[in-house]
Amino acid sequence: MLLSLLTRKDKLKFLDLAMHMVSIDGEPTEVEQRLLNILLAEVGDGIVKEYQFALSKDMDETILYFEESNLTVKNIVFLNLVKVAMSDEFYNTTQHFFLESIRNKFGISDTKKQQLMRLVYQERDLRERAKRVVSH
């Protein structure tokens, strides 16, 4: 969501964080893999061809990169990480702690976190309502 607003480098660094998020609790689930494919489509073919599909060797460096970014970039990255974490039915505590660590390092307030999480819930609810409408 809104990944197209990021720079080329932001997108590559975001993919590092997203890959880390889905790997925290082991291999990506089918739902997480589907969401990763959607995120890859959103960042664009050029980025996908350039991205190394392996866990970043220096996650601290990746996080520091975003710590120095503007607030809009931080919010977009956090929003999409929340979306990844909430994509399957298993919201792992390790994912929760990782998200909280990112939120604190990015300086995202509790209020902003709640707003961003609400967007993820609203998007998921809209998708479910659309499925019901088209299937009846």
pLDDT tens for each residue of 88-117: 766 678 888 999 999 999 999 999 999 999
Torsion of CA 65, 67, 70, 73, to 10 degrees: 70
- Looking at residue 121, the DSSP 8-state letter turns out to be H
Q: Is the pLDDT of residue 85 over 90?
A: no
- The model's pLDDT over 31-48, given as tens digits with 9 standing for 90+, comes to 777 877 788 778 877 776
* Integer angstrom CA distances of residue 34 from 16, 26, 40, 75, 86: 17, 16, 10, 22, 13
Instruction: Pull the structure tokens for residue 118.
Output: 């609400």
Q: Which domains does the chain have, with CATH numbers?
A: 3-135 (1.10.3680.10)
What pTM did the predictor assign?
0.86
DSSP class of residue 29?
P
Give me the pLDDT at residue 79, please: 96
Tell me phi and psi for residue 69, to 5 degrees. -80, 170
Greater confidence (105 vs 52) lies with 105
Q: Which helix (H) or strand (E) holds 68?
A: none
Computed over every residue of the chain, the mean pLDDT equals 87
Residues 86, 95: Cα–Cα separation, whole Å: 9
Average pLDDT of the segment spanning 10-31: 83
The arithmetic mean of pLDDT across residues 48-65, rounded, is: 77
